[in-house]
């Protein structure tokens, strides 16, 4: 998402905490990933515009190793 009106905004300090939990049983792996646990908002720039960070993201995966 582009935020052209935020030209003078800055991130004074930033801490983003992610969590990973993994359970392995034989060839099976179950994993839970949680990114940006505090659901903080920060902005980054690529020199053209400003972009808002993703909010809290939760992923659950199940994999099998052959």
Q: What is the dihedral of CA 2, 52, 13, 39, to 10 degrees?
A: 170
Confidence tier at 16 by pLDDT (50, 70, 90):
confident
Q: What is the pLDDT of residue 1?
A: 46
Listed by start position, the domains of the chain span 16-64
Confidence tier at 10 by pLDDT (50, 70, 90):
low
Confidence tier at 15 by pLDDT (50, 70, 90):
confident
Tens of pLDDT, residue by residue over 37-59, are 988 888 887 888 888 888 999 99
Q: Report residue 34 as tokens.
A: 């949680």
Which whole number is the average pLDDT over 27-32? 98
């Amino acid at each position: 998402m582009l935020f052209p009106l935020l030209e003078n905004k800055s991130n004074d300090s930033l801490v983003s905490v992610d969590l990973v939990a993994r359970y392995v049983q034989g060839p099976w792996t179950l994993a839970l990933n949680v990114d940006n646990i505090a659901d903080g908002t920060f902005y980054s720039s690529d020199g053209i515009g400003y972009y808002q960070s993703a909010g809290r993201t939760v992923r659950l995966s199940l994999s099998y190793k052959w």
